[in-house]
Amino acid sequence: MKVTENKIYNPEAECMDRAALRELQDRRLVETVNRVYNNVPLYRERMQAAGVKPEDIKGVDDLHLLPFTNKTDLRDEFPFGLLAAPKSEIVRIQGSSGTTGKPIVAGYTRNDVDVWTEMVARSLTAAGAGKDDIIQVTYGYGLFTGGLGAHQGASQVGAMVIPMSSGNTQRQLMMMHDLGATMLCCTPSYAIYLGESLKELGYDPKEFRLKSGCFGAEPWTEEMRKKLEGLFDINAYNIYGLTEIGGPGVAFECCAKNGMHINEDHVIAEIVDPETGEPLPYGESGELVFTTITKTGMPMIRYRTHDICVLDDSPCPCGRTHLRMGRITGRTDDMLIIRGVNVFPGQIESVLLRIPGVAPHYQLIVDRVNSTDRLEVQVELTDEMFSDTVADVEKLQHTITEQIKSVVGIAAKVKLVPPKAIPRSEGKSKRIIDNRDLTK
Ligand code: AMP
Ligand code: ZN
């Protein structure tokens, strides 16, 4: 495997003495709390209800006094209710799946785009990127933060960017081969698929110049890393982020490949008990919570990611002093990530409720076939529809498939089943059957 040099994009920030970092966080947190209190009704009302005044927050030690924020708040305040800056200052909207049929959106000021770009530049540099690199961006471009995020970061380090966006495996490999891409940014499962397709399409892996890749947007494992590194003869690095906090680059792996450094000069991370919300010590597994401290468009206070992981404050051999987060080992909610796209059962439900002829009984069955996620949606027909003609039923199947594609953004196989075919449960119905083995 090609060795990755230990390059640091912004050593002053990334290797900052921890006491100085704490002072910086304290100052930035106080500024952020004042900004949201003065500009965002939801934060002001929540703080008032909790009996917390902005002057009570003097630094990170007081963070636990502040109320949490959730994805449902973004849904309820959709689209602009959480903005802390005038709309005229917002230069970008990015979005992600909401818990129902509507997406959630985040507004970014020029400052926020710059902060995000720097975070990705740090991530790519840690994976060895520099101005001599040719970076193929195979994350989707659009509302999803992956494509544009990686693109901006790659431009920032001065690399040559190939903005492929997702899909079209043959063309991806042809460009990677012919242009001599040295780095790849995409989801780990698609990267494995590309690697496996390479030989099938008659390429010799030795003809590729790829040396590393930044892979994220979905959970993956050490087994998958080994597989990926073998398929392409590269170093594979993990990169993590979420739209609400700023997109990819919130945290990223360094050459030690032992957890992702969190950009702590821009965000404060906590781990809390998902049940009680009580903060947990470093090293304990719990729900990751972020507070942004430099964003001005839509700052987030104690945002509950629903991602489960551990935080590690032990020193890292790379020289960076920022905390590291371990791999995401699960979720505290029912969100699925399918081919890098977040899917909530509520989104599927919202589609089905609008379509006559189907009952609101459904089940989502997820599998991974040849490294690619497959989603099957089993939907019950109503009694009336069940006795209709085959042509009518086929038409209905087509409508549901199209609607799911347009609302959820992924292609699913829709299987119509007879009335009462889906098992009923006494308590919470079992909507999801996830057969993927994430250990391989
Ligand atoms: P989005 O806002 O659509 O980019 O989705 C963000 C979510 O994707 C996170 O909350 C995680 O659940 C998941 N995610 C992003 N990067 C990673 C990663 N490297 N490992 C595991 N999950 C990830
Ligand atoms: Zn490190």
CB 214 within 8 A of CB 124: yes
Query: Are 262 and 320 in a shared domain?
Result: yes
Same domain (yes/no): 119, 204: yes
- How confident is the model at residue 191, as a pLDDT? 95
161 and 297 share a domain? yes
The pick from 240, 244, 250, 267 for probing ligand 1's pocket by mutation, whose C-beta has the most ligand atoms within 8 angstroms, reads 240
DSSP β-bridge partners for residue 343: 336
CA 216 – ligand 1 centroid, Å: 7
Nearest CA to ligand 1 atom 5: 242
* pLDDT reading at 329 higher than 80: yes
What is the pLDDT, as a whole number, of residue 244? 97
User: In this structure, is residue 423 part of a structural domain?
Assistant: yes
Residues 93 and 121 in one domain: yes
Residue 378, Cβ neighbours under 10 Å: how many?
A: 17
* Same domain for 327 and 343: no
How much is the average pLDDT of 310-325? 98
Contact 301, 70 (CB under 8 A): no
Give the 3-state secondary structure of residue 94.
Answer: strand
Closest ligand relative to 8 C-alpha = 2
Q: How far, in Å, is the centroid of ligand 1 from the Cα of 219?
A: 7
Instruction: Tell me if 67 sits within 8 A of 46, measured CB to CB.
Output: yes
Residue 42 CB-half CA count within 13 A: 20
Report how far ligand 1's centroid is from the alpha carbon of 337 (Å): 8
What tokens were used for 359? 């009952």
Q: Average pLDDT, whole number, for the chain?
A: 95
**Section 83-99 average pLDDT:** 96
* Angle at CA of residue 65, ends 276 and 48, nearest 5°: 110
pLDDT at 138 over 90: yes
- Residue 109: inside a domain, yes or no? yes
| Same structural domain, 142 and 206 | yes
Residue 440 resides in a domain: no
Neighbours of ion ligand 2 (CB under 5 A): 254, 256, 316, 318, 320
Q: Look at residues 269, 301, 332 and tell me which one is the last residue of a structural domain.
A: 332
Q: For residue range 9-60, list pLDDT tens digits in order.
A: 999 999 999 999 999 999 999 999 999 999 999 999 999 999 999 999 999 9
Residues 396-416, mean pLDDT to the nearest whole number: 95
Q: Do both 201 and 325 map to the same domain?
A: yes
- Can you give the residue range of the structural domain that contains 383? 336-434
Q: Nearest to residue 308, comparing CAs of 322, 289, 292, 323?
A: 289
Residues 97 and 204 in one domain: yes
Among 337, 339, 373, name the best residue to mutate to test ligand 1's pocket (greatest count of ligand atoms within 8 A of Cβ): 337
Q: Domain end: 314, 332, 350, which one?
A: 332
Whole-number Å distance, alpha carbon 225 to ligand 2 midpoint, is 17
Lowest mean pLDDT among 295-304, 305-314, 373-382, 418-427: 418-427
Tell me how many domains the chain contains.
Answer: 2
Q: Read off the CATH number of the domain in which 110 is found.
A: 3.40.50.12780
Q: Is the pLDDT of residue 159 over 90?
A: yes
Q: CA-CA distance, 34 to 419, in Å (whole number)? A: 55
Domain check: are 258 and 174 in the same one? yes
- pLDDT higher than threshold 80 for residue 429: no
Q: Which of 301, 332, 363 is the last residue of a domain?
A: 332
With a cut of 70, say whether residue 440 has pLDDT above it.
no
